[in-house]
Structure formats: structure tokens, C-alpha cells
Amino acid sequence: MTVKGANKNQRWYTLARVILFYACTLIVLIPADILSESAEVNIAGQLSMFIATILTFLLVVIFTRWEKLKLNDVGIVPSKKSVSRFSIGFGVGLLMAIMQAMIVLSFGHFQLKLVPEITITAIVLPLLLYMFAGFREELVFRSYSLRSLSYSLTPFLALIIITVIFVIEHLFGGMTWQNAIIGSGTGAILFGLAALKTKGLALPLGLHIAWNFGQWSLGFKGKPGIWEAIVEKGYESQVQNIGMGAYLLAMGLAITGVCIFYRKEKLF
């Protein structure tokens, strides 16, 4: 295992392997998209993310063994607490999304309208998409990458490096600078801290999936979910700013909660 006291060359080698690993996780998106092309349009995205998740998991196994780590060292082996941690994370993630929406609603010029006659299929398919996307991102950013860097460098530096890469991926995915840096960046800190504190992926995975699904459900993903978010004309900027402030508050409370609840758990 690469340890905290690793020499300078070992640290550079680990960083180089992490960058190579990340590049490989992007490359496997290509065959995932190709293999899902023959699927029906409404499930193509889900199938692509599912295949990408499987291929990413295989990459985690390969790179973990290359660095002479065990799978348990990078947090992908479930523990007795995994189910409870995932459940807690999922519940907290949904509460965070609801909290953001309630704060925005309280300032006015914004309303949520229930989408009429929405079907179970129309709810389950986005849930599956966010589930597979969450699995893929947690494997990419919070398993081998984060843990190997935390062993070689320090947990703090590892968290910063992975947060930067996470932001860059979302920038290239089409996000604005504000949403990528403030939005995805804050989320990366929460998910990364949760992974380091619990030494696993269950808690950050629950938080990640529920947050994205919760935002979609409430119409905060730019299109109607279970509800449609309607902003009064002329107040778009004001509502957006309030939404960002509410987001930072929800994320800040969640980060504080992780630090308090797991205060006895070391990051390394």
C-alpha cells in the first residue's frame, strides 16, 4: 500500500496513475454509448450509464491492484453499515433538495406545479439514470482516485485534487462556470468528505443519487420532473440567486453534519 510517508517520486507516480485512471474512465464512455445505440430512445441513457458503471468498476479493480492496494482500501467492498449509510444518505439528500425548494418558494415569484398524469415509468426511468450516473461518478471520483491520493499525499490535498477534476468534468459536460465551481465543487466536497470519513461509498452514493433525483423531481434540472418549476417573468435572475444561496446553505449544513456525526472518524 502507498502510505502517507511515501517519497516524492511515489507521490508523483500515484498522481500520474490517478490521472491515467480518470482518462480511461472517459474513454470507456465511448463503447458504452455505442453499445446502447440499439436500445430504445427512452432507455438509451440508462443503458449507457449502466455499461459505463460496469466498465468503470473493472478499471477500479485493475488500477487498485496495480497500486498494490486491496479493494477494501478504496471503499468498494460493502460493510455491515453500508445499507444503513446509504439509506441515511438518500434520506438526507432528498431533504436537502426539498429544503432548497422550500427556501426559494418562501421568497415568492416562484411556484411548483404538479405535472398532470405523470406515470410510474416517467419517474422510475430518471431515477435509474441518476442511480447509474451516481454509481459511475462515485466509482470515478470517490473510490480509487480519492483514496489512493489520500494515502500518498494527504486527505485534504486528495479532496482538493478530486474536487478540481470533478468541476472540470462538469464544465466540459456543459455546465456554466458558476454552476460547475460553486454547485459541483461544493457537492464534490460533501461527497468526498463523506467517503473519507466512512471509508466507503454507501453514504456519498445515497447523498449523490437522492440529491440529483430530488432536484429533478422538483423541476430544478431545467425541465419538469414530478413537479414543474415556474418562475415569474422578470424574476429569473433573482430566483436563480436565491436558489444558489439555498443550495449553499443545504450543502453547508450537510457538510457540517458529516463533520459532527463522524467527528471521531479520521480522514486517513
**Contact status, residue 74 vs residue 144, Cβ threshold 8 Å:** yes
**What pLDDT, on the 0 to 100 scale, is given for residue 8?**
67
**What pLDDT, on the 0 to 100 scale, is given for residue 2?**
44
Q: What is the pLDDT of residues 180-238, one digit of tens each?
A: 899 999 999 999 999 999 999 999 999 999 999 999 999 999 899 999 999 999 999 99
Query: How far does CA 177 lie from the centroid of its chain?
Result: 18
**What pLDDT, on the 0 to 100 scale, is given for residue 178?**
85
The residues pairing with 113 across neighbouring beta strands, listed in sequence order, are 228
**What pLDDT, on the 0 to 100 scale, is given for residue 204?**
97
pTM over 0.95: no
- Stretches in the chain below the pLDDT threshold 70: 1-8, 267-268
**Contact status, residue 26 vs residue 18, Cβ threshold 8 Å:** no
The CA distance from 141 to 63, in Å, is 13
Whole-number mean pLDDT of the chain? 92
The CA distance from 21 to 139, in Å, is 11
The CA distance from 31 to 50, in Å, is 12
